[in-house]
Structure 1
């Protein structure tokens, strides 16, 4: 019969998630992670595996717990409302916690060592998945007449992701919520509309 772990695995994962969010994958040292989790390194890695495995589990929890606004955005009735909900959700998330601003999915590993390349690729893949979901939603909007015939769903999805990513970087750099809201409104002011539904915020 195995020995029971002497710490709360769920709380430990939440704690190391915040460290990765604040410092990024390579910036988070083993000392940072074990101090946050409140356990020694062997116990931490017994529960979660190595640092890469720990980061991947923290990233999955991040998307599940904190990026729920994106699946919710995809359910909005118009393409413009999809974009507005995504933008506002991102602004709220990236400015909500003063001790870890920005987005873990963007700043986890923007650039890193060769050892961090698998993690960087995992982040790229997760962002690509989000962009694909937006593209599919905008394709449906175009088919429904909510977007004009001239609209390019792939470009719109890439544009929205570029704005979301840029705002995450700006939030990490200390831009205010008000500034980011103004950026979002500027992005929405150029949003194309079709014949199906009136524009709403």
Structure 2
């Protein structure tokens, strides 16, 4: 009796490439606005291939968002590596403003545009996006809490509230970028924010 070894047919596409294409569709249209036809056309695959590789539209979104979010968190952590809290907040906001208006992807932010207004049956998508935004806020809070411990924030400054304020500004910028605000518009807003945030510098 001879044994035979069977192997699955190799996929005729690169998963990272098709995930990037799917990400752009979700980014432009939101989760509910991204039809399967629009997704498969952009990804260059058919529906059976989509289901075989990713399982479902929701699982495709989860994979696409995880890839997107990992890149965003890496960029945020690079900004937060600045030596002072003030410099870290400024780097975070300026990097965010640049990313929100970059020419190589849709304006705005997938975390904000992907599914804030989902119907109840797609509530899981809103939860995924909210969890992603919370993770970024947690990274900010972690950095600012460390600054407080090091005496790099004024006594009594609430690191969590400050992190939430910075996130709210960044998320507001995402909405404005999606509506057509330019990089210069957002950076001018950061200029004002940083003048306001001089209070985060500890007094001598």
TM-score by length of 1: 0.92
Given candidates 170, 190, 194, the residue that maps to 2:202 is 194
Within the alignment, does 1:173 sit opposite 2:169 as a pair?
no
Q: Output the CA distance in 1 between the equivalents of 2:129 and 2:170.
A: 15
2:4 counterpart residue number? none
Residue aligning to 1:124: 130
Within the candidate set 92, 99, 110, 1:93 is matched to 99
Q: Unaligned 5+ residue runs, structure 1? A: 197-201
**Structure 2: any 5+ residue segments left out of the alignment?**
1-6
**Distance (Å, rounded) in 1 between the aligned partners of 2:126 and 2:173:** 19
CA distance in structure 2 between the aligned counterparts of 1:144 and 1:181, rounded to whole angstroms: 29
Where does 1:1-201 land on structure 2 (aligned, <5 Å)?
A: 1-97=7-103, 100-191=106-197, 192-195=200-203
8 A contact 1:106–1:123 mirrored in 2: yes
- Offset at residue 135 of structure 1 (A): 1.1
Cα distance in 1, alignment partners of residues 66 and 76 from structure 2? 14
Displacement of 1:149: 0.2
- Between the aligned partners of 1:131 and 1:2, the Cα distance in structure 2 is 42
| SS of match in other structure, 2:101 | helix
What is the root-mean-square deviation in Å for CA atoms of aligned residues?
1.4
- What is the aligned length? 196
